Amino acid sequence: MTTFSELGLAEPILKALAHEGYEAPTPIQSQAIPHVLRGKDLLGIAQTGTGKTAAFALPILNHLELNKRKPGRRACRVLVLSPTRELAGQILDSFRAYARFMKTTMALAIGGVPVGRQARALMPGVDVLVATPGRVIDLYDQGAVKFDEIEILVLDEADRMLEVGFVHAIRSIIAKLPAVRQGLFFSATMPKEIADLAERLLREPASVEVTPVAKTADRIEQSVLFMDQGAKGRVLADVLKSEPIDRAIVFTRTKHGADRVVRGLAGAEIAAEAIHGNKSQGQRERALQSFRQGRVKILVATDIAARGIDVDGVSHVVNYDLPNVPESYVHRIGRTGRAGASGIAISFCSGDERDDLKAIEKLIRQRVPHGASSHPDTKPDPRPAPGEPEAAAAGNGRGGNGRGGNRNGQRGGNRPAREGQRPGAPRSGERPSFAGRNPAPAPRPETAEAKHAAPRPASQPRPAQRGDVRRTSEHELAGVQFLSRKPTRDANSSARPAGNSPRNPAR
Ligand code: AMP
């Protein structure tokens, strides 16, 4: 197995890694670091939790260590762009941790905090600037930062930039870069617009891809429930009361929707906090802190706000609204089932969202099983059974109110009924149940690598090799296994959450 010292990293970095307690590089790290050290551009397909931050931070710091020079006034040598403030803060924390025995200068430029202080921090020039694209463009327009000394640009979670509406800002940053520079581009998925962006930034990039490996215990159990839009609040309250929830993130499409859900849950005596772009940075941090510390078990979030939230122990993800960007589904459900835990992802689908569901299923190449709920507001599965033509089933579920007609997910044989449960016969007074979700693994591509990576029998655990590498479908979701991110300080907050590792003290 490769070690960090075999990768050729400089001594102060190796010392910092030992201090962090990292024993060996993760697959994305051992694949990516040699390319970046050689100065190659890099296209990395990897989700958060695979160790990708260190995959770019370590070779960047190595470059800075071997090529020490003082940046000019207002200049930065490395610019790291992140789609959200929270993620930007976490990236900076990682850089600081890995550079703890170096004299690297760093700054953070994110929205939601006064721009003046950030401009002052940039005045003498910095080695590493971690930023959200909108704020860094503001600073550039004010003349507070220059891009002409950039040696390395990192675009992290590029696909999320699409949703946050940063693609234009990024194009404009790329256009201002010096001709000679290194580009590192990370994305979990590669929709066309993102592939175009990668093409603009990168020149003959090396490409690495890691897909987390499925392990039986780590599966995310997915299910979908069909209902009218107006019934979602009632069904949600019921789901949250009946499921064994440690922590749940409920996703809504809009900020107002998130607030409405929180109010509705309050009416059902379920405490929840909303986190979205209309909240101040302070409110977002407080909500996150409550969620991390378990004071509030339910966080209602929009996609954008949820990006970069890295909390372990999320037992449930509920898609109150289905995302209209199918890639978001992958990101959303990846919030649960982390760090070896099992996770449950329940999606609500109204009549208007059927196309969104179809797009998601196409992307993940998997049918999301119908959840077995007997809640009177849920409807039968309107989808045609596999192999059945669409038209034949077009009327299914339409106009049906689900009362007494719930098929409990049996259509198409996605999964067995719960023992003793008769399809189509909800029992009065019974709580909605989601038992028997998706017991079978998703279909895997039959490649040699996929076979190599297939889940092992329980008798052959492989505890150390988290996030193994293989080339396969980008969107394989049979179960995802992630490294858990240590709780890090939120951007601009000096407080660290409880449970902070002694190896990683507040900086
Ligand atoms: P990331 O995918 O960059 O969000 O990293 C996820 C978590 O894995 C972070 O908390 C890192 O501190 C941790 N991590 C990254 N690389 C390693 C490694 N080689 N060994 C152990 N933990 C790691």
Q: Which of 131, 129, 116 is nearest to 169 (CA)?
A: 131
Q: 438 CA distance to ligand 1 centroid (A)?
A: 29
Domain identity same for 143 and 238 = no
pTM for the full model? 0.53
* Residue 183: both structure tokens together: 């580009």
**Is residue 484 helix, strand or coil?**
coil
The single-letter DSSP state of residue 284 is H
Q: In the predicted model, is pLDDT for residue 414 greater than 60?
A: no
Indicate the residue among 210, 237, 266 that finishes a domain.
210
Kindly calculate the radius of gyration of the chain based on its CA atoms and give it in whole angstroms. 23
Tell me the pLDDT tens digit for each residue of 141-174: 999 999 999 999 999 999 888 878 899 999 999 9
Asked whether residue 238 is assigned to any structural domain, the reply reads: yes
Asked whether residue 478 is assigned to any structural domain, the reply reads: no
Q: 50 CA distance to ligand 1 centroid (A)?
A: 7
Q: What is d(CA 197, CA 99) in angstroms, rounded to the nearest whole number? A: 30
Q: What is d(CA 284, CA 266) in angstroms, rounded to the nearest whole number? A: 19
Domain identity same for 82 and 148 = yes
Residue span of the structural domain in which 338 resides: 220-396
Indicate the residue among 339, 367, 396 that finishes a domain.
396
Q: Which residue's CA is the closest to the ligand 1 atom numbered 14?
A: 51
Q: 26 CA distance to ligand 1 centroid (A)?
A: 8
- Mean pLDDT in residue range 41-53: 87
Ligand 1 atom nearest residue 48's Cα: 2
Q: 482 CA distance to ligand 1 centroid (A)?
A: 9
How many domains does the chain fold into? 2
Domain identity same for 224 and 181 = no
**Is residue 130 helix, strand or coil?**
strand
Ligand 1 atom nearest residue 484's Cα: 7
Q: Which residue's CA is the closest to the ligand 1 atom numbered 16?
A: 51
Domain identity same for 238 and 178 = no
Tell me the pLDDT tens digit for each residue of 246-267: 999 999 998 899 999 999 999 9
Q: Which residue's CA is the closest to the ligand 1 atom numbered 7?
A: 485
Q: 463 CA distance to ligand 1 centroid (A)?
A: 15
Please give the backbone phi and psi of residue 312, each rounded to the nearest 5 degrees, phi first. Answer: -80, 165
Asked whether residue 425 is assigned to any structural domain, the reply reads: no
Single-letter residue type at 208: V
**Ligand 1 pocket by Cβ (under 6 Å):** 22, 25-26, 29, 48-54, 483, 485-486
Sign, CA dihedral 277-279-283-289, equals: negative
Q: What is d(CA 22, CA 26) in angstroms, rounded to the nearest whole number? A: 9
Ligand 1 atom nearest residue 504's Cα: 12
Paired strand residues for 317: 249, 345
Give the CATH number, domain containing residue 235.
3.40.50.300
Q: 33 CA distance to ligand 1 centroid (A)?
A: 14
Q: Tell me the best of 22, 45, 154, 483 to mutate to test the pocket of ligand 1, counting ligand atoms within 8 Å of each CB and taking the most.
A: 483
Ligand 1 atom nearest residue 50's Cα: 2
Q: Which of 257, 345, 357, 353 is nearest to 300 (CA)?
A: 257
**Is residue 101 helix, strand or coil?**
coil
Q: In the predicted model, is pLDDT for residue 340 greater than 70?
A: no
Tell me the pLDDT tens digit for each residue of 7-30: 999 999 999 999 988 888 988 999
Q: What is d(CA 75, CA 342) in angstroms, rounded to the nearest whole number? A: 45
Ligand 1 atom nearest residue 53's Cα: 3
Tell me the pLDDT tens digit for each residue of 449-474: 232 233 323 333 333 333 333 222 33
CB 347 within 8 A of CB 438: no
Indicate the residue among 370, 396, 422 that finishes a domain.
396
